[in-house]
Amino acid sequence: MVTEVAQVEIHDGNIEDFLKALTNSVGLLQETKGFISIEVQHQIENPSIVYLIIKWAQLDDHLIGFRQSEKFVLWRNSLGKFFKSEPIVNHFEKVNIG
């Protein structure tokens, strides 16, 4: 399993509208092969920062299955207008330490 963490900075005053658009767009993720779950975290210190924590079965499910699909174009068209800057996206794998 791979965890995608996207840090998104939203234009001031638009967080509620962004969250509504995100709620309406989450089905695009859910329809994608390999999608497991999404969690949204809102930063306390800077209310314009939101983290999208998305779990995928494999990295290619995100990078190829979603990012190279029409679903991503629809996702970005719905949400991109709220972005103050390009999202910072990283991928993580769980490390077992004991």
Judge whether residue 13 has pLDDT over 90: no
Q: Which regions of 1-98 does DSSP assign to beta strands (E)?
A: 2-9, 35-42, 49-56, 88-92
pTM of the model: 0.93
Q: What is the pLDDT of residues 16-26, one digit of tens each?
A: 999 999 999 99
The fold of 10-90 is: Alpha-Beta Plaits (3.30.70)
Cβ neighbours of residue 44 closer than 8 Å, sequence gap 6 or more:
none
Enumerate the domain spans of the chain.
10-90
- Per-residue pLDDT, 65: 96
pLDDT in tens, 37-92: 999 999 999 989 999 999 999 999 999 999 999 999 999 999 999 999 999 999 99
Residue 51's DSSP bridge partners are: 7, 41
Strand partners, 89: 6
At residue 98, does pLDDT exceed 90? Answer: no
